[in-house]
Copies of this chain bind each other. A is one copy, B any other.
Amino acid sequence: MSTSLVSYDTLVATVAGIFSAHLPEGDAQHVARCLVDADTRGVASHGIGRIPVYTKRLRLGLVNPRPSLRVTGGDAATAHVDGDNGMGYVVAQKAMDEAIARASQFGIGMVLASHSNHFGMSASYVQQALDAGLGSFVFTNAPPLMPVWGGSTPFLGTSPFAFGAPGETPLLLDMATSVVAFGKIRRAARLGESIPADWALDAQGRATTDPHAAIDGVVLPMGGPKGSGLGLMMDLLAGVMSGAAFGGQVRNQNADFSAPQDVGHTFIAFKPDLFLSAEAYRERAAALVQRAKACTLANGFDDISMPGEREEAMARRARLEGLAVSEQDMEMLREEEQLASGSAAERSGSHSAA
């Protein structure tokens, strides 16, 4: 497959250009950065390949390009953000900002968001907290793709459990509660590859290696009741408690174009050095990593890496050397740029002249 090497800045500018036909410039830049960052981390399922569905929903009026994000305080260390059906990326960034502000004052802060949409890679918001020197938990709910334990029909999202803690080598855990992220199944379908037999059931509840059959069926939770329990936990925290849709009622952005998604999110930020000096925390966090890496290797491993470490190394390389973009994605970007200039013309009232 032929690819083009594109610099990080160029790719972000291209994607931001596409979104700026719809969104305020700052929001377009933020969305573009999150999408390209996912590609730099090797998380292609949350990368620029998602652009067409986002712009489609914007064009259809299913996502509010200029939301009024309403922040209301709960008890002191908590707040609520009504996302006003804005892009999830924009709602989540604002909500994590609020969580960071509360953690800075109270040691820990929790912010829930409702009326939001798909926010991309959770790692983006964990990184936002890391950049502020804070640890965090980031949860979201998502459309039903995975059965609750004991069920055979989609009920839970394959929502990621995400956590971060600062350090010389930060911990940045961002893991699907499914055996695999559903995006990996979609990607296998796009690339015509088969999938392992324990990833998913087909529509009849049978194990399958065909990603197309799996897309019509369900992906399985990791560890059976364990992944299912984490999924229920996140739906309660992000959906039930926030006022967003929950319990299988978040709409699928790829399949349901009848109404907004109404996704809910949860952001908990905390200071890592509450009871230690900043210096002592740094030393102890570094010692945890050093001791882990000093363990005897298991068969088949060359090194021991921390959660997110490999992804950050990939991202650093991609930011320096550029990203390999497939011909298919280059074509998609060209099409999206054309659609964007059409939308921009339409928005400026000159669509009859275009």
Interface residues of A (CB under 8 A from B): 72, 74-78, 80, 105-110, 112, 135, 147-153, 155, 161, 163, 165, 171, 173, 175, 179, 205, 222-223, 225-230, 232-233, 235-237, 239-243, 246-248, 268, 270-276, 281, 284-285, 287-288, 291-292, 295-299, 301, 303-307
CA distance A235 to B292 in the complex (A): 11
Say how far A349's CB is from chain B's closest CB, in angstroms.
40
Task: Using A296-B152, A297-B151 as known contacts, say yes or no to A75 and B275 having CB atoms under 8 A apart.
Answer: no
18 A-B pairs whose Cβ atoms sit less than 8 Å apart in the complex = A75-B105, A75-B106, A106-B106, A108-B108, A112-B275, A135-B237, A150-B297, A151-B297, A151-B304, A155-B295, A161-B230, A171-B229, A171-B232, A232-B292, A235-B288, A241-B272, A243-B275, A268-B268
From the candidates B105, B150, B163, B179, name the one contacting A298 in the complex (CB within 8 A).
B150
Task: Using A108-B108, A232-B307 as known contacts, say yes or no to A275 and B241 having CB atoms under 8 A apart.
Answer: yes
From the candidates B248, B271, B304, name the one contacting A75 in the complex (CB within 8 A).
B271
CA distance A270 to B106 in the complex (A): 14
Q: Name the B residues within 8 Å of A284 (CB-CB).
A: 240, 246
Q: Name the B residues within 8 Å of A281 (CB-CB).
A: 240-241
From the candidates B149, B236, B288, B303, name the one contacting A232 in the complex (CB within 8 A).
B288
From the candidates B268, B292, B307, name the one contacting A225 in the complex (CB within 8 A).
B307
A291 close to B248 (CB less than 8 A)? yes
Q: Closest 10 interchain pairs by CB?
A: A75-B107, A151-B295, A78-B107, A74-B274, A150-B304, A77-B106, A247-B291, A229-B307, A152-B298, A173-B229
B295 close to A148 (CB less than 8 A)? yes
Q: Name the B residues within 8 Å of A153 (CB-CB).
A: 295-296
From the candidates B110, B228, B292, name the one contacting A148 in the complex (CB within 8 A).
B292
CA distance A78 to B225 in the complex (A): 32
A224 (CB) vs chain B CBs: closest residue: B222
A307 (CB) vs chain B CBs: closest residue: B229
CA distance A268 to B78 in the complex (A): 13
**Residue of A179, A240, A305 contacting most chain B CB atoms (<10 Å):** A240
From the candidates B74, B76, B78, B225, name the one contacting A76 in the complex (CB within 8 A).
B76
CA distance A228 to B288 in the complex (A): 13
Task: Using A205-B299, A296-B151, A297-B150 as known contacts, say yes or no to A285 and B236 having CB atoms under 8 A apart.
Answer: yes
B243 close to A276 (CB less than 8 A)? yes
Q: Name the B residues within 8 Å of A110 (CB-CB).
A: 107-108, 270, 274
Given contacts A78-B271, A248-B291, 15 further A-B contacts (CB under 8 A): A74-B274, A74-B275, A78-B107, A107-B110, A147-B295, A150-B301, A151-B296, A155-B292, A173-B233, A228-B307, A233-B307, A240-B288, A241-B274, A246-B287, A247-B291
Say how far A153's CB is from chain B's closest CB, in angstroms.
5
A77 close to B223 (CB less than 8 A)? no
